[in-house]
Amino acid sequence: MLEIVLFALPRRDTKPLARALLARFGSFARVISAPVQDLLSVEGMGEAGVAALKSVHSAALRLLRAEIMGQPVLNNWDRLMAYLSAELSRERVEQFRVLFLDNRNRLLADEAQQRGTVNHTPVYPREVSKRALELHATALVLVHNHPSGDPTPSRDDIVMTQQIRVAVEALSVVLHDHVVIGNGRWLSFRKEGLL
């Protein structure tokens, strides 16, 4: 598949480059989601190759997102987890996202609220609440990733989730869940009895 994507490179045998990328990153998914600078550090990789790989990554995420947009999110949990895993499981820093839902639990918006470090992302209940009001959302699903790959929530994750729950419930907005995405695994606060 990498050879086909890289075939757009002018007059070049793409097989050695595809092999080098797989050796460095381990899988097709990790190659297309790798940071630009890391891709450029592979010998033979240039701007055109990076653009081709990033186009495929972007297209894959758009396809997965299209599967959940306008649909009741809670009834399409497997599709939602596929999208969130593709979006977040290979991130190298924590990212905190909020899924804003309408009164039928259809996705209004999926927005990154914060990007943090390898093990922390500051989140502000006031900002989450403000954005929910701006979008006329009636429900939320919180999502963040753990770059370590282990989706077990920290004590700070649990406290922050409760603070957001209290803040949005005062505005008649329901917090359905908080999902932590690891590498190939995810954890639901609701299913674990943490919410």
pLDDT per residue over 113-146, tens digit each?
Answer: 877 666 667 788 999 999 999 999 999 999 999 9
pTM over 0.95: no
* Of 12 and 60, more confident: 60
- Mean pLDDT on 88-93: 84
Residues 6+ apart with CB under 8 A from 11: none
Distance, CA of 171 to CA of 132 (rounded, Å): 9
Name all domains of the chain by residue range, CATH numbers in brackets. Answer: 2-63 (1.10.150), 72-188 (3.40.140.10)
Distance, CA of 81 to CA of 62 (rounded, Å): 14
Residue whose structure tokens are 């653009």: 51
- 138 and 120 Cβ atoms separated by less than 8 Å: no
